[in-house]
Amino acid sequence: MRADLPEGQSARDSLWRRVTHTSPARLAVAAFLAVVLLVALALWLPIATTSGHSAPFIEALFTATSAVSVTGLTSVDTAAYWSDFGHGAILVGIQVGGLGIMTLGSILSLVTFRRLGLRTRLMAASETKTTSLGEVGLLVRAVAMISLVVELTIGLVLFSRFIGTGEPLPRALWHAVFYGVSTFNNAGFSPTDQGLVPYIGDWGILVPIGIGVFIGSLGFPVILDVVRHLRHPRQWNLHTKLTLTFALALLVVGAVVLGATEWNNPATLANQSTSSSLLNSFFSSANTRSGGFSTYPIELQQPATIITQEALMFIGGGSASTAGGIKVTTLAVMLLAILAEARGDRDMEAFRRRIDPSTLRVAITVTTAGMALILGAVLGLSVIGAGSLEHIVFESISAFATCGLSTGLSQTLPWAGKLILIGLMLAGRLGTMTIAASVALTNRHRLIRLPQERPIIG
Protein backbone atom coordinates (compact mmCIF):
# COMPACT_ATOMS: atom_id res chain seq x y z
CA MET A 1 0.00 0.00 0.00
CA ARG A 2 1.31 3.43 -0.88
CA ALA A 3 2.15 5.60 2.13
CA ASP A 4 1.06 8.85 0.53
CA LEU A 5 -2.51 7.66 -0.09
CA PRO A 6 -5.27 7.31 2.50
CA GLU A 7 -6.20 3.72 3.19
CA GLY A 8 -9.74 4.11 1.80
CA GLN A 9 -8.59 5.73 -1.41
CA SER A 10 -5.94 3.07 -1.93
CA ALA A 11 -8.54 0.35 -1.49
CA ARG A 12 -10.87 2.03 -3.99
CA ASP A 13 -8.05 2.41 -6.52
CA SER A 14 -7.19 -1.25 -6.07
CA LEU A 15 -10.81 -2.28 -6.64
CA TRP A 16 -11.00 -0.09 -9.77
CA ARG A 17 -7.83 -1.67 -11.16
CA ARG A 18 -9.13 -5.17 -10.49
CA VAL A 19 -12.44 -4.43 -12.26
CA THR A 20 -11.01 -2.63 -15.27
CA HIS A 21 -8.09 -5.00 -15.78
CA THR A 22 -9.87 -8.30 -15.17
CA SER A 23 -13.47 -8.00 -16.30
CA PRO A 24 -14.86 -4.67 -17.50
CA ALA A 25 -17.47 -6.71 -19.38
CA ARG A 26 -18.74 -8.20 -16.11
CA LEU A 27 -19.07 -4.72 -14.61
CA ALA A 28 -20.95 -3.52 -17.69
CA VAL A 29 -23.44 -6.38 -17.62
CA ALA A 30 -24.09 -6.01 -13.88
CA ALA A 31 -24.61 -2.24 -14.12
CA PHE A 32 -26.99 -2.46 -17.04
CA LEU A 33 -29.03 -5.25 -15.49
CA ALA A 34 -29.36 -3.22 -12.29
CA VAL A 35 -30.63 -0.18 -14.18
CA VAL A 36 -33.05 -2.30 -16.21
CA LEU A 37 -34.45 -3.84 -13.02
CA LEU A 38 -34.92 -0.44 -11.36
CA VAL A 39 -36.77 0.98 -14.39
CA ALA A 40 -38.88 -2.19 -14.64
CA LEU A 41 -39.89 -1.88 -10.98
CA ALA A 42 -40.87 1.75 -11.58
CA LEU A 43 -43.00 0.76 -14.56
CA TRP A 44 -44.56 -2.03 -12.52
CA LEU A 45 -46.13 0.50 -10.16
CA PRO A 46 -49.87 1.22 -10.67
CA ILE A 47 -49.11 4.92 -11.14
CA ALA A 48 -47.07 4.09 -14.27
CA THR A 49 -50.11 3.05 -16.35
CA THR A 50 -53.04 5.09 -17.58
CA SER A 51 -55.45 2.47 -16.21
CA GLY A 52 -54.10 2.82 -12.67
CA HIS A 53 -53.44 -0.94 -12.44
CA SER A 54 -50.04 -2.60 -12.29
CA ALA A 55 -48.77 -3.69 -15.67
CA PRO A 56 -47.80 -7.35 -16.10
CA PHE A 57 -44.17 -7.58 -15.06
CA ILE A 58 -43.14 -8.99 -18.43
CA GLU A 59 -44.46 -5.80 -20.10
CA ALA A 60 -42.62 -3.62 -17.58
CA LEU A 61 -39.42 -5.62 -18.03
CA PHE A 62 -39.66 -5.60 -21.82
CA THR A 63 -40.20 -1.82 -21.92
CA ALA A 64 -37.44 -1.18 -19.38
CA THR A 65 -34.96 -3.30 -21.33
CA SER A 66 -35.90 -1.54 -24.55
CA ALA A 67 -35.48 1.88 -22.90
CA VAL A 68 -32.16 1.26 -21.15
CA SER A 69 -30.69 -0.46 -24.21
CA VAL A 70 -32.10 2.46 -26.27
CA THR A 71 -33.81 0.07 -28.65
CA GLY A 72 -37.40 1.29 -29.00
CA LEU A 73 -39.22 -2.02 -29.42
CA THR A 74 -42.50 -1.93 -27.52
CA SER A 75 -44.89 -4.64 -26.42
CA VAL A 76 -47.64 -2.08 -25.67
CA ASP A 77 -48.66 1.29 -27.11
CA THR A 78 -46.28 3.72 -25.41
CA ALA A 79 -48.51 6.79 -25.66
CA ALA A 80 -51.76 5.08 -24.65
CA TYR A 81 -50.59 2.48 -22.12
CA TRP A 82 -48.11 4.38 -19.95
CA SER A 83 -49.00 7.44 -17.85
CA ASP A 84 -46.89 10.58 -17.54
CA PHE A 85 -45.07 8.88 -14.65
CA GLY A 86 -44.44 5.86 -16.87
CA HIS A 87 -43.18 8.09 -19.66
CA GLY A 88 -40.87 9.77 -17.15
CA ALA A 89 -39.47 6.40 -16.06
CA ILE A 90 -38.89 5.46 -19.70
CA LEU A 91 -37.17 8.79 -20.33
CA VAL A 92 -34.86 8.30 -17.34
CA GLY A 93 -34.03 4.81 -18.59
CA ILE A 94 -33.19 6.16 -22.04
CA GLN A 95 -31.00 8.94 -20.68
CA VAL A 96 -29.12 6.75 -18.21
CA GLY A 97 -28.76 3.97 -20.77
CA GLY A 98 -27.61 6.32 -23.52
CA LEU A 99 -25.01 8.09 -21.41
CA GLY A 100 -23.88 4.76 -19.99
CA ILE A 101 -23.45 3.21 -23.42
CA MET A 102 -21.36 6.05 -24.81
CA THR A 103 -19.29 6.31 -21.63
CA LEU A 104 -18.83 2.56 -21.39
CA GLY A 105 -17.82 2.27 -25.03
CA SER A 106 -15.24 5.02 -24.61
CA ILE A 107 -13.90 3.56 -21.36
CA LEU A 108 -13.59 0.10 -22.91
CA SER A 109 -11.63 1.74 -25.72
CA LEU A 110 -9.31 3.26 -23.15
CA VAL A 111 -8.97 -0.08 -21.34
CA THR A 112 -8.11 -1.77 -24.64
CA PHE A 113 -5.71 1.04 -25.48
CA ARG A 114 -3.75 0.58 -22.24
CA ARG A 115 -3.34 -3.13 -22.88
CA LEU A 116 -1.77 -2.58 -26.31
CA GLY A 117 1.96 -2.81 -26.91
CA LEU A 118 4.20 0.23 -26.42
CA ARG A 119 4.78 0.86 -30.11
CA THR A 120 1.09 0.54 -30.92
CA ARG A 121 0.19 2.81 -28.01
CA LEU A 122 2.60 5.50 -29.17
CA MET A 123 1.16 5.35 -32.68
CA ALA A 124 -2.41 5.38 -31.39
CA ALA A 125 -1.69 8.28 -29.02
CA SER A 126 -0.43 10.35 -31.91
CA GLU A 127 -3.46 9.41 -34.00
CA THR A 128 -6.29 9.66 -31.46
CA LYS A 129 -4.89 12.21 -28.96
CA THR A 130 -5.85 9.76 -26.16
CA THR A 131 -3.43 9.02 -23.35
CA SER A 132 -4.62 6.99 -20.38
CA LEU A 133 -7.40 5.92 -18.09
CA GLY A 134 -6.69 9.08 -16.10
CA GLU A 135 -8.93 10.80 -18.65
CA VAL A 136 -12.00 8.84 -17.56
CA GLY A 137 -13.36 11.67 -15.41
CA LEU A 138 -12.91 14.20 -18.21
CA LEU A 139 -14.34 11.71 -20.67
CA VAL A 140 -17.53 11.19 -18.64
CA ARG A 141 -18.06 14.94 -18.25
CA ALA A 142 -17.50 15.52 -21.96
CA VAL A 143 -19.99 12.77 -22.90
CA ALA A 144 -22.63 14.24 -20.58
CA MET A 145 -22.05 17.81 -21.75
CA ILE A 146 -22.17 17.04 -25.47
CA SER A 147 -25.24 14.83 -25.01
CA LEU A 148 -27.17 17.45 -23.07
CA VAL A 149 -26.24 20.24 -25.51
CA VAL A 150 -27.41 18.25 -28.54
CA GLU A 151 -30.58 17.06 -26.78
CA LEU A 152 -31.40 20.61 -25.68
CA THR A 153 -30.87 21.96 -29.20
CA ILE A 154 -33.14 19.32 -30.73
CA GLY A 155 -35.73 19.92 -28.02
CA LEU A 156 -35.80 23.69 -28.57
CA VAL A 157 -36.29 23.28 -32.33
CA LEU A 158 -39.08 20.73 -31.80
CA PHE A 159 -40.71 22.83 -29.09
CA SER A 160 -41.25 25.73 -31.46
CA ARG A 161 -42.73 23.37 -34.03
CA PHE A 162 -45.03 21.57 -31.57
CA ILE A 163 -46.30 24.98 -30.43
CA GLY A 164 -46.96 25.79 -34.08
CA THR A 165 -49.12 22.68 -34.47
CA GLY A 166 -51.44 23.94 -31.73
CA GLU A 167 -50.32 21.78 -28.81
CA PRO A 168 -50.75 23.31 -25.33
CA LEU A 169 -47.54 24.77 -23.90
CA PRO A 170 -46.90 22.10 -21.19
CA ARG A 171 -47.61 19.22 -23.57
CA ALA A 172 -45.48 20.75 -26.34
CA LEU A 173 -42.60 21.20 -23.89
CA TRP A 174 -42.86 17.62 -22.64
CA HIS A 175 -43.01 16.17 -26.16
CA ALA A 176 -40.01 18.29 -27.21
CA VAL A 177 -37.93 17.13 -24.22
CA PHE A 178 -38.91 13.49 -24.72
CA TYR A 179 -38.18 13.49 -28.44
CA GLY A 180 -34.90 15.38 -27.87
CA VAL A 181 -33.62 12.68 -25.51
CA SER A 182 -35.07 9.79 -27.50
CA THR A 183 -33.67 11.16 -30.77
CA PHE A 184 -30.04 11.74 -29.81
CA ASN A 185 -29.92 8.45 -27.92
CA ASN A 186 -31.42 6.62 -30.92
CA ALA A 187 -34.12 5.17 -28.65
CA GLY A 188 -37.11 5.37 -30.99
CA PHE A 189 -39.73 5.85 -28.25
CA SER A 190 -42.60 8.19 -29.16
CA PRO A 191 -44.85 9.80 -26.51
CA THR A 192 -47.35 11.10 -29.10
CA ASP A 193 -50.40 9.26 -30.40
CA GLN A 194 -49.52 7.20 -33.51
CA GLY A 195 -45.87 8.21 -33.10
CA LEU A 196 -44.61 10.27 -36.03
CA VAL A 197 -47.20 9.03 -38.52
CA PRO A 198 -49.26 12.28 -38.30
CA TYR A 199 -46.09 14.27 -39.14
CA ILE A 200 -45.15 12.38 -42.30
CA GLY A 201 -44.94 15.62 -44.32
CA ASP A 202 -43.75 17.95 -41.55
CA TRP A 203 -40.20 19.12 -42.31
CA GLY A 204 -40.04 21.09 -39.03
CA ILE A 205 -40.30 17.86 -37.04
CA LEU A 206 -38.72 15.19 -39.24
CA VAL A 207 -35.59 17.16 -40.20
CA PRO A 208 -34.34 17.87 -36.64
CA ILE A 209 -35.20 14.33 -35.54
CA GLY A 210 -33.43 12.83 -38.56
CA ILE A 211 -30.33 14.99 -38.03
CA GLY A 212 -30.33 14.22 -34.30
CA VAL A 213 -30.53 10.49 -34.96
CA PHE A 214 -27.65 10.68 -37.43
CA ILE A 215 -25.43 12.66 -35.04
CA GLY A 216 -26.20 10.31 -32.17
CA SER A 217 -25.38 7.28 -34.31
CA LEU A 218 -21.85 8.50 -35.07
CA GLY A 219 -20.49 7.85 -31.59
CA PHE A 220 -18.84 10.06 -29.02
CA PRO A 221 -15.24 9.54 -30.24
CA VAL A 222 -16.25 10.80 -33.68
CA ILE A 223 -18.23 13.75 -32.33
CA LEU A 224 -15.38 14.79 -30.04
CA ASP A 225 -12.79 14.47 -32.80
CA VAL A 226 -14.89 16.55 -35.20
CA VAL A 227 -15.46 19.24 -32.54
CA ARG A 228 -11.73 19.36 -31.70
CA HIS A 229 -10.67 19.75 -35.32
CA LEU A 230 -13.75 21.33 -36.86
CA ARG A 231 -11.74 23.67 -39.09
CA HIS A 232 -9.09 21.10 -39.97
CA PRO A 233 -10.77 17.90 -41.26
CA ARG A 234 -7.39 16.54 -42.37
CA GLN A 235 -6.48 16.14 -38.70
CA TRP A 236 -9.42 13.80 -38.05
CA ASN A 237 -8.22 10.35 -37.07
CA LEU A 238 -8.81 7.25 -39.17
CA HIS A 239 -11.77 6.07 -37.10
CA THR A 240 -13.57 9.37 -37.64
CA LYS A 241 -12.90 9.40 -41.37
CA LEU A 242 -14.06 5.81 -41.83
CA THR A 243 -17.19 6.34 -39.72
CA LEU A 244 -18.25 9.55 -41.47
CA THR A 245 -17.49 8.22 -44.95
CA PHE A 246 -19.39 4.97 -44.58
CA ALA A 247 -22.21 6.50 -42.51
CA LEU A 248 -22.89 9.12 -45.18
CA ALA A 249 -22.59 6.54 -47.96
CA LEU A 250 -25.06 4.21 -46.24
CA LEU A 251 -27.42 7.14 -45.61
CA VAL A 252 -27.50 8.07 -49.30
CA VAL A 253 -27.61 4.51 -50.64
CA GLY A 254 -30.32 3.58 -48.13
CA ALA A 255 -32.39 6.63 -49.06
CA VAL A 256 -32.16 5.84 -52.77
CA VAL A 257 -33.11 2.18 -52.35
CA LEU A 258 -35.88 2.77 -49.79
CA GLY A 259 -37.30 5.64 -51.81
CA ALA A 260 -37.27 3.61 -55.03
CA THR A 261 -38.96 0.57 -53.48
CA GLU A 262 -41.68 2.58 -51.70
CA TRP A 263 -42.23 5.39 -54.22
CA ASN A 264 -45.31 3.77 -55.79
CA ASN A 265 -46.58 1.98 -52.69
CA PRO A 266 -50.03 3.49 -51.89
CA ALA A 267 -49.71 2.40 -48.25
CA THR A 268 -46.55 4.47 -47.70
CA LEU A 269 -45.20 7.11 -50.13
CA ALA A 270 -47.34 6.94 -53.27
CA ASN A 271 -49.80 9.55 -51.99
CA GLN A 272 -47.10 11.95 -50.77
CA SER A 273 -45.66 14.90 -52.66
CA THR A 274 -42.25 14.57 -54.27
CA SER A 275 -40.57 16.66 -51.57
CA SER A 276 -42.28 14.67 -48.82
CA SER A 277 -41.27 11.37 -50.41
CA LEU A 278 -37.64 12.49 -50.66
CA LEU A 279 -37.72 13.67 -47.04
CA ASN A 280 -39.14 10.38 -45.81
CA SER A 281 -36.65 8.37 -47.86
CA PHE A 282 -33.72 10.00 -46.07
CA PHE A 283 -35.57 9.93 -42.74
CA SER A 284 -36.26 6.22 -43.09
CA SER A 285 -32.66 5.53 -44.12
CA ALA A 286 -31.26 7.29 -41.04
CA ASN A 287 -33.71 5.64 -38.66
CA THR A 288 -33.40 2.17 -40.15
CA ARG A 289 -29.74 2.01 -39.14
CA SER A 290 -30.24 3.18 -35.59
CA GLY A 291 -33.11 5.52 -34.67
CA GLY A 292 -36.21 3.35 -34.86
CA PHE A 293 -38.67 6.13 -35.74
CA SER A 294 -41.06 5.58 -38.63
CA THR A 295 -43.65 7.70 -40.39
CA TYR A 296 -45.66 4.79 -41.81
CA PRO A 297 -46.43 1.19 -40.76
CA ILE A 298 -43.45 -1.10 -41.33
CA GLU A 299 -45.63 -4.13 -42.08
CA LEU A 300 -47.15 -2.35 -45.13
CA GLN A 301 -43.81 -1.95 -46.89
CA GLN A 302 -42.64 -3.84 -49.95
CA PRO A 303 -40.59 -7.04 -49.42
CA ALA A 304 -37.56 -5.39 -51.05
CA THR A 305 -37.80 -2.55 -48.52
CA ILE A 306 -37.92 -5.01 -45.63
CA ILE A 307 -34.79 -6.80 -46.87
CA THR A 308 -32.93 -3.50 -47.32
CA GLN A 309 -33.90 -2.36 -43.83
CA GLU A 310 -32.73 -5.64 -42.34
CA ALA A 311 -29.30 -5.18 -43.93
CA LEU A 312 -29.04 -1.56 -42.76
CA MET A 313 -30.17 -2.45 -39.24
CA PHE A 314 -27.60 -5.23 -39.00
CA ILE A 315 -24.82 -2.78 -39.95
CA GLY A 316 -25.98 -0.15 -37.45
CA GLY A 317 -24.11 3.02 -36.51
CA GLY A 318 -20.74 4.10 -35.16
CA SER A 319 -18.68 2.52 -32.40
CA ALA A 320 -19.17 3.82 -28.82
CA SER A 321 -22.51 5.28 -29.91
CA THR A 322 -26.07 4.55 -28.85
CA ALA A 323 -26.68 2.90 -32.21
CA GLY A 324 -26.56 -0.89 -32.42
CA GLY A 325 -25.57 -3.40 -35.08
CA ILE A 326 -22.09 -4.62 -35.93
CA LYS A 327 -21.06 -0.96 -36.53
CA VAL A 328 -20.05 0.82 -39.73
CA THR A 329 -16.31 0.54 -39.01
CA THR A 330 -16.70 -3.24 -38.84
CA LEU A 331 -18.23 -3.18 -42.31
CA ALA A 332 -15.53 -0.78 -43.50
CA VAL A 333 -12.70 -3.02 -42.32
CA MET A 334 -14.18 -6.12 -43.97
CA LEU A 335 -14.75 -4.27 -47.26
CA LEU A 336 -11.20 -2.91 -47.15
CA ALA A 337 -9.92 -6.45 -46.55
CA ILE A 338 -11.87 -7.70 -49.58
CA LEU A 339 -10.50 -4.83 -51.68
CA ALA A 340 -6.93 -5.50 -50.56
CA GLU A 341 -7.30 -9.21 -51.34
CA ALA A 342 -8.77 -8.46 -54.79
CA ARG A 343 -5.87 -6.14 -55.56
CA GLY A 344 -3.30 -8.54 -54.19
CA ASP A 345 -2.16 -6.01 -51.59
CA ARG A 346 -0.50 -7.22 -48.42
CA ASP A 347 -1.99 -4.48 -46.23
CA MET A 348 -5.41 -2.92 -45.70
CA GLU A 349 -5.12 0.81 -46.32
CA ALA A 350 -7.44 3.80 -46.04
CA PHE A 351 -6.83 7.56 -45.96
CA ARG A 352 -3.07 7.04 -46.19
CA ARG A 353 -3.07 4.79 -43.12
CA ARG A 354 -2.35 1.08 -42.76
CA ILE A 355 -4.86 -0.93 -40.71
CA ASP A 356 -3.57 -3.58 -38.32
CA PRO A 357 -4.58 -7.09 -39.51
CA SER A 358 -5.78 -7.92 -35.99
CA THR A 359 -8.61 -5.43 -36.54
CA LEU A 360 -10.01 -7.75 -39.19
CA ARG A 361 -10.08 -10.57 -36.62
CA VAL A 362 -12.19 -8.41 -34.30
CA ALA A 363 -14.52 -7.42 -37.16
CA ILE A 364 -15.08 -11.04 -38.19
CA THR A 365 -15.70 -12.08 -34.59
CA VAL A 366 -18.26 -9.32 -33.98
CA THR A 367 -20.09 -10.05 -37.25
CA THR A 368 -20.16 -13.81 -36.68
CA ALA A 369 -21.36 -13.38 -33.09
CA GLY A 370 -24.15 -11.07 -34.27
CA MET A 371 -25.30 -13.53 -36.92
CA ALA A 372 -25.24 -16.37 -34.38
CA LEU A 373 -27.35 -14.39 -31.89
CA ILE A 374 -29.94 -13.53 -34.54
CA LEU A 375 -30.07 -17.12 -35.80
CA GLY A 376 -30.61 -18.40 -32.26
CA ALA A 377 -33.43 -15.92 -31.65
CA VAL A 378 -35.11 -16.75 -34.97
CA LEU A 379 -34.98 -20.46 -34.15
CA GLY A 380 -36.39 -19.87 -30.67
CA LEU A 381 -39.24 -17.65 -31.87
CA SER A 382 -40.04 -20.12 -34.67
CA VAL A 383 -40.27 -23.01 -32.21
CA ILE A 384 -42.84 -21.21 -30.05
CA GLY A 385 -44.84 -20.24 -33.15
CA ALA A 386 -44.45 -16.48 -32.70
CA GLY A 387 -45.53 -15.53 -36.24
CA SER A 388 -44.45 -15.54 -39.86
CA LEU A 389 -40.77 -16.10 -40.60
CA GLU A 390 -40.54 -12.71 -42.35
CA HIS A 391 -41.73 -10.88 -39.23
CA ILE A 392 -39.63 -13.03 -36.90
CA VAL A 393 -36.42 -12.30 -38.81
CA PHE A 394 -37.17 -8.56 -39.01
CA GLU A 395 -38.02 -8.30 -35.29
CA SER A 396 -34.93 -10.30 -34.29
CA ILE A 397 -32.57 -8.14 -36.33
CA SER A 398 -34.25 -4.99 -34.98
CA ALA A 399 -33.80 -6.23 -31.40
CA PHE A 400 -30.15 -7.22 -31.90
CA ALA A 401 -29.38 -3.95 -33.68
CA THR A 402 -31.27 -2.02 -30.95
CA CYS A 403 -33.05 -0.22 -33.77
CA GLY A 404 -36.66 -0.49 -32.61
CA LEU A 405 -38.48 -0.72 -35.94
CA SER A 406 -41.26 -3.26 -35.62
CA THR A 407 -43.79 -5.09 -37.75
CA GLY A 408 -46.04 -5.30 -34.67
CA LEU A 409 -44.82 -8.77 -33.72
CA SER A 410 -43.52 -7.66 -30.30
CA GLN A 411 -47.04 -6.78 -29.15
CA THR A 412 -48.44 -10.21 -30.03
CA LEU A 413 -45.63 -12.40 -28.63
CA PRO A 414 -46.24 -14.71 -25.66
CA TRP A 415 -44.10 -14.16 -22.57
CA ALA A 416 -41.50 -16.67 -23.79
CA GLY A 417 -41.07 -14.77 -27.05
CA LYS A 418 -40.70 -11.49 -25.19
CA LEU A 419 -38.02 -13.02 -23.00
CA ILE A 420 -36.12 -14.05 -26.13
CA LEU A 421 -36.24 -10.48 -27.47
CA ILE A 422 -35.24 -9.10 -24.05
CA GLY A 423 -32.16 -11.32 -24.08
CA LEU A 424 -31.42 -10.34 -27.67
CA MET A 425 -31.67 -6.61 -26.91
CA LEU A 426 -29.25 -6.94 -23.99
CA ALA A 427 -26.89 -9.16 -25.98
CA GLY A 428 -27.04 -6.83 -28.98
CA ARG A 429 -26.31 -3.81 -26.82
CA LEU A 430 -23.60 -5.19 -24.54
CA GLY A 431 -22.49 -8.23 -26.50
CA THR A 432 -20.77 -6.73 -29.54
CA MET A 433 -19.12 -4.01 -27.47
CA THR A 434 -17.69 -6.33 -24.84
CA ILE A 435 -16.82 -9.03 -27.38
CA ALA A 436 -14.84 -6.50 -29.41
CA ALA A 437 -12.99 -5.34 -26.29
CA SER A 438 -12.27 -8.85 -25.07
CA VAL A 439 -10.97 -10.02 -28.46
CA ALA A 440 -8.76 -6.95 -28.77
CA LEU A 441 -7.41 -7.53 -25.27
CA THR A 442 -6.67 -11.22 -25.94
CA ASN A 443 -3.32 -10.88 -27.63
CA ARG A 444 -0.92 -13.64 -26.60
CA HIS A 445 2.75 -13.39 -27.46
CA ARG A 446 4.15 -16.87 -28.09
CA LEU A 447 7.86 -17.58 -28.31
CA ILE A 448 7.32 -20.57 -30.60
CA ARG A 449 5.14 -20.33 -33.70
CA LEU A 450 3.86 -23.39 -35.53
CA PRO A 451 4.68 -24.03 -39.21
CA GLN A 452 2.47 -22.07 -41.59
CA GLU A 453 0.19 -23.75 -44.15
CA ARG A 454 -2.72 -22.33 -46.19
CA PRO A 455 -5.97 -24.31 -46.54
CA ILE A 456 -8.00 -24.00 -49.74
CA ILE A 457 -10.64 -21.28 -49.46
CA GLY A 458 -13.65 -21.06 -51.77
The half-sphere exposure of 45 on its side-chain side, counting CA atoms within 13 A, is 15
pLDDT score at 213: 94
| Residue 457 pLDDT > 80 | no
Strand-pair partners of 354: 349
pLDDT score at 118: 41
pLDDT score at 143: 76
Q: What is the pLDDT of residues 316-325, one digit of tens each?
A: 998 878 888 9
- What confidence category does residue 91 fall into, taking pLDDT thresholds of 50, 70 and 90? very high
- Measured between alpha carbons, how far is 240 from 229 in angstroms, rounded to an integer? 11
Q: Report the predicted TM-score, pTM, of the whole model to 2 decimal places.
A: 0.84
| Residue 83 pLDDT > 70 | yes
- What confidence category does residue 436 fall into, taking pLDDT thresholds of 50, 70 and 90? low
- What confidence category does residue 314 fall into, taking pLDDT thresholds of 50, 70 and 90? very high
Kindly state the average pLDDT of the residues 203-214: 94
Q: What is the pLDDT of residues 134-163, one digit of tens each?
A: 455 566 677 778 888 999 999 999 999 999
- What confidence category does residue 23 fall into, taking pLDDT thresholds of 50, 70 and 90? low
- What confidence category does residue 127 fall into, taking pLDDT thresholds of 50, 70 and 90? very low
- What confidence category does residue 12 fall into, taking pLDDT thresholds of 50, 70 and 90? low
- What confidence category does residue 130 fall into, taking pLDDT thresholds of 50, 70 and 90? very low
DSSP string, 197-256: GGGTT-HHHHHHHHHHHHHHHH-HHHHHHHHHTTT-GGGS-HHHHHHHHHHHHHHHHHHH
Contact 413, 421 (CB under 8 A): yes
Q: What is the pLDDT of residues 218-256, one digit of tens each?
A: 988 888 889 888 888 888 989 999 999 999 999 999 999
Kindly state the average pLDDT of the residues 352-371: 88
Greater model confidence, 145 or 446:
145
Kindly report the average pLDDT of the chain as a whole number. 84
209: Cβ contacts below 8 Å, ≥ 6 apart: 154, 158, 179, 183, 196, 283, 291, 293
| Residue 61 pLDDT > 80 | yes
| Residue 2 pLDDT > 50 | no
| Residue 398 pLDDT > 70 | yes
402: Cβ contacts below 8 Å, ≥ 6 apart: 69, 70, 71, 72, 186, 290, 316, 322, 323, 324, 325, 425, 428, 429
Q: What is the pLDDT of residues 163-188, one digit of tens each?
A: 988 889 999 999 999 999 999 999 98
N-to-C CA span, the chain? 58
Determine the residue type at 154. I
Point out the least confidently predicted range of 14-28, 75-89, 336-350: 14-28
Q: Which of 32, 40, 63, 100 is nearest to 322 (CA)?
A: 100
Greater model confidence, 230 or 29:
230
Provide the sign of the torsion angle of the four alpha carbons 99, 430, 180, 213, taken in this order. positive
pLDDT score at 359: 86
pLDDT score at 7: 57
pLDDT score at 134: 46
Point out the least confidently predicted range of 205-214, 382-391, 443-452: 443-452
- What confidence category does residue 14 fall into, taking pLDDT thresholds of 50, 70 and 90? low
| Residue 360 pLDDT > 50 | yes
Point out the least confidently predicted range of 82-86, 108-112, 197-201, 369-373: 108-112
How large is the C-alpha radius of gyration of the chain?
Answer: 22
| Residue 19 pLDDT > 60 | no
pLDDT score at 67: 94
Q: What is the pLDDT of residues 268-300, one digit of tens each?
A: 999 999 999 999 999 999 999 888 999 999 999
pLDDT score at 125: 38
- Measured between alpha carbons, how far is 105 from 139 in angstroms, rounded to an integer? 11
Domains in the chain: boundaries: 19-441
Provide the sign of the torsion angle of the four alpha carbons 327, 333, 336, 341, taken in this order. negative
| Residue 434 pLDDT > 80 | no
| Residue 22 pLDDT > 60 | no
